[in-house]
Structure 1
Amino acid sequence: MQNPPDIWFRMSRLCRLDVKWTGYHQGNAPLASYEHSNPYYEILMVTEGPIYLKSEDANLELVSGECYLLTPWERHTAWRLTHEHAGFFWVQFFATPGLTPGKPEMPLAEPEGWLDKSRQELRTGQDEEAEHLLLPRRFQPVRRYELLNLFEKLHGEMEHPQGYFRYRSSLLLGQIFHLIAEDLLSKENLQTAVPAAFLAYRQLVNLLNESYNTEPDRAFIESQLNRKYEYLCHIFKKYSGMSIFTYIHQLRIQRAQYLLVNSELPVNRIAESVGFSDPYYFSRLFKRFTHCTPSDFRKQNGPIGN
């Protein structure tokens, strides 16, 4: 299936990048005379143009500094000869999870904004909610020389492998995509400043993470963050989708689960250590969150050594 040249891709922040091969193609070498395809993604950066790239059925003319992203098994070749000094770097890589394509009219700034990122701040959050980098299929970066330097370093790592060269190569490819994504935001004049309310929310989350096993009441929270409790409750609900005390309970149950599996402390001692003075209330709350009693959870999962 053909991808249009102006498609966009979303790449998860948690994407694992594995560089497979790199190379530098110059002039009209024999490689330009036949069709290519491979099971990996491939990104090109033109050092000197023009490069006449045929991608599936699209004939493209890439100029100096342009980048182009090919998808797995996408057929590509040259559709016209160029001059002997024209050239480009190419990098084949594996990505898990894969890049998610979007329509050309896909908005550059995701409408959910910081609400999308907010649950990742929670200790009990899910990695599946990680934000994405927005990558254009075809792009002319402003910081082309900085990007070219990264391609040169990456190609050098793969051409002269030593030690942990694959690890370093993955890091360099990540830097390449980060630079492209940041350059795109700057080029489109998109607002990337963190809202003040989100900063206050992160401070509150960090405070709760460190004090959940005590009693972080209204007076304590206000004194630590120098903000009204009502405002803090509002922004916490806005960004997390839950109340402050629901999150405190989640943190306590999370810690209790760890202790049930990794210690031999009795249930009443575990309840006390995570902030519950009433072990019966703790057991009822534990069952509400995990759908089993603390004793059953321990039987099913541990403790270590059993």
Structure 2
Amino acid sequence: MFYRINLQYLPSVRLADSVVIEPPYVHRRRKADEYIVYLIKKGVMYLEENGETVTLQPGDMYVLDPRYIHVGVKASWCEYFYVHFRHPDMEPLEEETGLQKLLLENRQASVQSDIFSYEKCEGQSLYLPKSYHMHDYSSLVKVTELLNEAMERNITQLENYKILLACKVLEAFVEISRSCVTEETVAYVEKQPRSYRNVQELLNYLNREYAADITGQSLEKEFGGNFDYMNRTFKKVTGQTIFKYLNRVRINHAKALILNSPLKMSRIGESVGFPDEYYFSRVFKKYTGKSPTEYAREGMNGRKNGK
């Protein structure tokens, strides 16, 4: 089960802290008027929510729902984070049919997005699992650090601390969601043909290695397949050829360097994968409608005019 959270709104966080419980303490029976998220650090917790027994162990995250009564069923030693919050647009997704596909589409939209655009490439919703074990240790460390920072914000109580607290909590939720989505999409992709999985690997490779000398031959060597076949499959899945996508990634990075670095155009082209300055200029104009110099001039004029 997942909760869809509208990211246009920040959560209103009442409490964010960590605590240690010891026997004979048992969570009292209650129906909260807010969402409560637990993340177990050490030990074990025994709960019952809506008549269902839940055993939480280190690395487990769980969302207690305000619609249901929850109660502790057994005393135990446990150290855990807790976050009490409300949200104006958060709803449970009881029916998960098609959700794996949606999560994969969102991930793919994010991977292929223009990083210099103002648009929210994957929409405005976050999908937070109700119950999830964080297998990825690096993600668990990130979430732990974020929740520790959230706790610090709540302690200092300087101006706007509640906003910063909400931002840290939301960032932790995003990291939890990303970790879960990675597992969900891997499970989905593994059911698809091998060619489909290759496209996902190729997208990640192009985004990461865009500045390298990438050719059809180098891709055949890297992925062990025929380039023409890879290109046809890539276009079928993404709607564009491999090198058209690669050039778009390179040009996007070049745009950022043009506006935010003192590098010469030749050096910028080289740093994003175009060692030939004239070829870089032609490709840049093809994708933006302007030469690199014209793009830089317009960017400087915009800054002078306060845009």
Q: TM-score, normalised by structure 2?
A: 0.52
Task: Report what 2:274 is aligned to.
Answer: 275
Instruction: List 4+ stretches of structure 1 deviating above 6 A.
Output: 15-19, 75-78, 82-89, 161-166
2:129 counterpart letter in structure 1? L
User: Please, which of 221, 224, 230 is the counterpart of residue 223 of structure 1?
Assistant: 221
Q: Tell me which structure has the larger Cα radius of gyration.
A: 1
User: Please, which of 121, 134, 143 is the counterpart of residue 128 of structure 1?
Assistant: 121
Alignment check: 8 A CA contact 2:199 2:234 kept: yes
1:76 CA displacement = 8.0
Deviation sequence 1:30-70 (CA, Å, 0-9, x none): xx6xx8645xx42369955667xxxxxxxx44545485533
Count, aligned residues: 252
Change (3 A) 1:283 1:11: same
1:104 counterpart letter in structure 2? E
Which structure 2 segments of 5+ residues have no match?
A: 57-61, 134-139, 156-164
Change (3 A) 1:246 1:104: same
User: Please, which of 224, 232, 241 is the counterpart of residue 230 of structure 2?
Assistant: 232
* Structure 1 CA distance for aligned equivalents of residues 234 and 68 of structure 2: 50
1:228 CA displacement = 0.4
Change (3 A) 1:10 1:197: farther
Q: Is 2:238 the counterpart of 1:244?
A: no
1:233 CA displacement = 0.4
Q: Is 2:263 the counterpart of 1:254?
A: no
* Structure 2 CA distance for aligned equivalents of residues 262 and 236 of structure 1: 32
2:101 counterpart letter in structure 1? P
1:243 CA displacement = 1.1
Task: Report what 1:92 is aligned to.
Answer: 84
Task: Report what 2:37 is aligned to.
Answer: 43
Which structure 1 segments of 5+ residues have no match?
A: 1-6, 52-59, 144-149
* Structure 1 CA distance for aligned equivalents of residues 289 and 175 of structure 2: 45
Change (3 A) 1:302 1:198: farther
Change (3 A) 1:102 1:75: closer
Alignment check: 8 A CA contact 1:218 1:229 kept: yes
Alignment check: 8 A CA contact 1:9 1:134 kept: yes
Alignment check: 8 A CA contact 2:285 2:291 kept: yes
In the TM superposition, 1:1-306 aligns within 5 A as 8-10=2-4, 20-22=15-17, 26=26, 37=33, 41-43=35-37, 47-48=45-46, 60-61=50-51, 63=53, 65=55, 68-70=63-65, 91-93=83-85, 100-101=90-91, 103-107=93-97, 109-112=99-102, 114-122=104-112, 124=114, 128-129=121-122, 133=127, 135-136=129-130, 193=190, 196-205=194-203, 208-209=206-207, 216-264=214-262, 267=265, 270=268, 274-275=273-274, 277=276, 279=278, 282-283=280-281, 285-302=283-300
Change (3 A) 1:109 1:208: closer
Q: TM-score, normalised by structure 1?
A: 0.52
Deviation sequence 1:253-280 (CA, Å, 0-9, x none): 223323322445555665576527474x
Alignment check: 8 A CA contact 1:11 1:99 kept: yes
SS in 1 for 2:240: coil
SS in 1 for 2:274: coil
Cα RMSD over matched residues? 5.8
Deviation sequence 1:168-199 (CA, Å, 0-9, x none): x96996599569959x97xxxx7574753355
Alignment check: 8 A CA contact 1:233 1:243 kept: yes
* Structure 2 CA distance for aligned equivalents of residues 16 and 128 of structure 1: 19
Alignment check: 8 A CA contact 1:9 1:99 kept: no
Alignment check: 8 A CA contact 1:19 1:170 kept: no
* Structure 2 CA distance for aligned equivalents of residues 271 and 283 of structure 1: 8
* Structure 2 CA distance for aligned equivalents of residues 202 and 180 of structure 1: 17
Alignment check: 8 A CA contact 1:108 1:134 kept: no
Change (3 A) 1:133 1:251: same
Change (3 A) 1:221 1:295: same
